[in-house]
Amino acid sequence: METLNRADIDAGPVNPASVFRPEILAWKAYHVADSTGMVKLDAMENPYPLPDALRQTLGKALADAAIHRYPDPSPQALKALLRERLELPADMEILLGNGSDEIIQLLCMAVARPDAVVMGVEPSFVMYRVSAATAGVRYEGVPLRDDFSIDEPALVQSIEKHRPALLFLACPNNPTGNMFDPEVVRRVISRAPGVVVIDEAYHAFAGTTHLPVLASSENVLVMRTLSKLGLAGLRLGFVVGRHEWLGELDKLRMPYNVNVLTQIAAGVALRHLEVLTGQARAIVAERAPLIAALARHPLVHVFPSSANFVTFRVPDGPATFAGIKARGVLIKNLHGAHPLLANCLRVTVGTPQENRVFLEALALTLDPRNG
């Protein structure tokens, strides 16, 4: 037998550029800022660790984990606990994801027919656009108004033009923090020819939900996550909706997407949910004074928030971001992400102490004579 070398068949080089999709080669990698040694107020994390007693309980539960076995591919007990503790409708299905990021990706893969469109409002959560691109689906972003409310005529017009298979609406919205008018959301749902995903990642801080819409609208899914509630490290998100949708999505899901340790830890946390909801209440209680302090500053324009972060505008966003960072506080620079976010910054509500440190760093940055 004669052996053929690759070079005898095809003279072209083999490298990522010759093999991978060109749009992937053109992307920049998702950047997470280094926060070592800083006051970390950039990622909407709950600033409070679990109390000692609960950490002990968690440690004991995790010690019994059967990590030599594959996880339960569809943990019914965990779903039942979510249903009961988070008051999810009994007649709706639940699908678990490795964070809600994974669910966004599943949804985009599911609709990725050649002419499909995924739609969102802009600015909103970047993963909608990123996951659409990953799945090779066209993404259409419809700008919000200056005050970050939905431009209903523009959105309805765009829906009629592009007939999106998927429409993402984050309620409250990230990175703007506001809640959309539920009446507008309901009217938009009634005009949508595809699935409308209501992303309630910040539900714990908003005090309202669109879950009741599931009963009356056949094309709605409601997505939640435990991340912003205080379990960002576990990676557990879920979507609630009718079996006819979630049964199909479940076929796309990797069977072991939620690992053993996450299943156990989430179970423990949900059985002690009052700890996390208590922390969420403390965060909400800190939000109003943080907004008030920002509003008192003559150079700051602060936007209303129903989430665990506050978005505000300063005269020079990038310079202020850098000044705050130089003083040891990491927030998020939104300038450049979208024209509506010009000179905007986003700060996560931290502990009272962290918020004080942030406000001092901001005041010093905006007016060095204060120091």
Q: Can you give the binding site for ligand PLP, defined by CB under 6 A?
A: 44, 99-101, 125, 170, 174, 199, 201, 225, 227, 232, 237
The least distance separating ligand PLP from the CB of residue 368, rounded to whole angstroms, comes to: 33
- C-alpha distances (whole Å) from 208 to each of 14, 202, 214 are 53, 10, 14
Minimum CB separation of residue 98 from ligand PLP in Å reads: 8
Cβ at position 122, least distance to ligand PLP in Å: 13
Q: State the distance between the two ends of the chain, measured CA to CA, in whole angstroms.
A: 82
Q: Helices 352-366 and 273-296, interaxial angle, to 10°?
A: 20
Minimum Å distance from CB 41 to ligand PLP?
15
Going from the C-alpha of 301 to that of each of 3, 166, 234, 288, 312, the distances in angstroms are 71, 33, 35, 15, 6
Q: Which is nearer to ligand PLP, 174 or 365 (CB)?
A: 174
Q: Which is nearer to ligand PLP, 174 or 305 (CB)?
A: 174
The tokens 């939620």 sit on which residue?
A: 258
8 Å CB contact between 180 and 149: yes
- Least spacing, CB of residue 114 vs ligand PLP, in Å: 27
Smallest separation, CB 273 to ligand PLP (Å): 17
How many Å apart are CA 57 and CA 159, to the nearest integer? 49
CB of 166 to ligand PLP, least distance (A): 14
Nearest-CA neighbor of 39 among 360, 362, 350, 365? Answer: 350
Instruction: Supply the minimum distance, in Å, between the C-beta of residue 210 and ligand PLP.
Output: 13
Residues β-bridged to residue 119: 140, 167
The Cα–Cα gap between 27 and 319 comes to: 26
Q: How far is the CB of 124 from ligand PLP (least distance, A)?
A: 7
Residue 173 or 320: which CB sits closer to ligand PLP? 173
Residue 290 near residue 305, CB atoms below 8 Å: no
Nearer to ligand PLP, 30 or 69 (CB): 30
Cα 270 from Cα 344, distance rounded (Å): 35
Closer residue to ligand PLP, CB minimum distance, 341 or 357: 341
Name the residue number minimizing CB distance to ligand PLP: 99
Would you say 79 or 356 has its CB closer to ligand PLP? 79
Q: Which is nearer to ligand PLP, 150 or 359 (CB)?
A: 150
Neighbours of 186 (CB within 10 A): 14
Residue whose C-alpha is closest to residue 279's, from 59, 99, 49, 39:
49
Q: How far is the CB of 31 from ligand PLP (least distance, A)?
A: 16
Q: How far apart are CA 19 and CA 12, in angstroms?
A: 11
Instruction: Name which of 54 and 232 has its Cβ closer to ligand PLP.
Output: 232
Angle at 37 between CA 33 and CA 41, to 5 degrees: 55
Helix (H, G, I), strand (E, B) or coil at 223: strand
Q: Where are the beta strands (DSSP E) in 261-363?
A: 301-302, 309-313, 329-330, 332-333, 344-348
Residue with Cβ nearer ligand PLP (174 or 355): 174
Report the residue number, 168 or 312, with the smaller CB distance to ligand PLP. Answer: 168
